[in-house]
Structure 1
């Protein structure tokens, strides 16, 4: 193994150890009560290894959740077939469900919500139906829809996941389309309503 590959492997190992240790500590206390000293001791790495990769404990959680949440939005943006999307979502909730539930109990859910908001904006930025929207209206629309979609998934996850995943996926799509058709977009500068086409269905 080359020196470069060896250094990269050490970095990846340190990140994995720190992430695992942080999630373990979050089982016992809120994020705000966890100190870097106890984190690195539990992870078995040096403080230098921590500061070489992260500035804050929040950064560890962002790095953990960001690519996984982005992958789900990639499926939507790239119009992956429904069966594949459902399979990816199933894997996501199987792997991440406990950490997502822990976020609500340990006061770091805001990190996930911000990542979700960012990806929702990315979705609209990549959806040609919204290209002509007033930027201000587009920003508020994305925020409005993000809160609604996130709220549906949050309700399902934290209350026993009683419904089929495919049914919740369909519900989200139906509500997005219905809201889009009913509300349209508000041109905040001209105080007029501008109609929006419903989201193009992928299925």
Structure 2
């Protein structure tokens, strides 16, 4: 196993361990020792890689969201609705764990993670909004992250009645991204 694969495996183990413990306890009642035992990782691993439980969630979620880009068909550009469709497909597949995080009061971690991924996509040219007013607004990444995650929370809590494709169209209409290009 390569070092990168081992790193991914340990991150997944500690994330899954945290979710398992969150099923029966609040975040503040979980100790680092308990988490490391549950995840079968060392305390040294925890302290070397994380400063908080929220950081575990953020790192795992960020990697998960970025990996969803692999599901997007390769093209020079892609519509925002398609990008959101793929995002909601991923979130629908992980609905139980996301609802667990929401119910544990960790929505802010989901918002900050989405914001970082959105900025990553802009920085790497997947999203080109440089010619728009919103692209020049330093607060837009925070706005879109809060809006998308709030919409996701409502969608999950209401039983995901709309398909991911419908959610992509809904978000495109809400944000009116007809003037932004998303590149892949």
The question of a shared fold, defined as TM-score above 0.5 by the shorter chain, is answered with yes
2:151 aligns with 152
In the TM superposition, what are the counterparts of 1:106-121 in structure 2 within 5 Å?
106-121=104-119
Q: Distance in 1 between matches of 2:92 and 2:103?
A: 17
- Could you say which residue in structure 2 is the equivalent of 1:34? 30
Question: 1:9, 1:72 → 2: CA distance?
Answer: 18
Equivalent residues, number: 178
Deviations 1:10-38 (A, max 9, x none): 55543333222111001112222211011
User: How many angstroms apart in 1 are the aligned matches of 2:150 and 2:87?
Assistant: 20
TM-score, normalization: structure 1?
0.69
TM-score (norm. length: structure 2): 0.75
Stretches of structure 1 that go unaligned for 5 or more consecutive residues are: 181-196
Write out aligned runs for 1:1-203 (5 A): 5=2, 11-72=7-68, 75=72, 79-80=77-78, 86=85, 89-94=88-93, 96-124=94-122, 126=125, 127-131=127-131, 138-177=137-176, 198-200=179-181
Structure of greater Rg: 1
| SS of corresponding position for 2:147 | helix
Cα-to-partner distance string for 1:144-196 (whole Å, 9 max, x where unaligned)? 3332233222211121111222111101011111xx7xxxxxxxxxxxxxxxx
Distance 2:65 2:140 in 1: 20
For the residue of structure 2 that corresponds to 1:161, the secondary structure is coil
1:22 is paired with a residue whose SS is helix
Mapped partners of 1:169, 1:154: distance in 2: 15
- Name the structure, 1 or 2, with higher relative contact order (CA <8 Å, separation 6+): 2
Q: What is the root-mean-square deviation in Å for CA atoms of aligned residues?
A: 3.5
Structure 2 Cα separation of the partners of residues 92 and 168 of structure 1: 11
Q: Evaluate the alpha carbon distance shift between residue 167 and residue 52 of structure 1 in structure 2; reply closer, same or farther with a 3 A threshold.
A: same
1:194 aligns with none
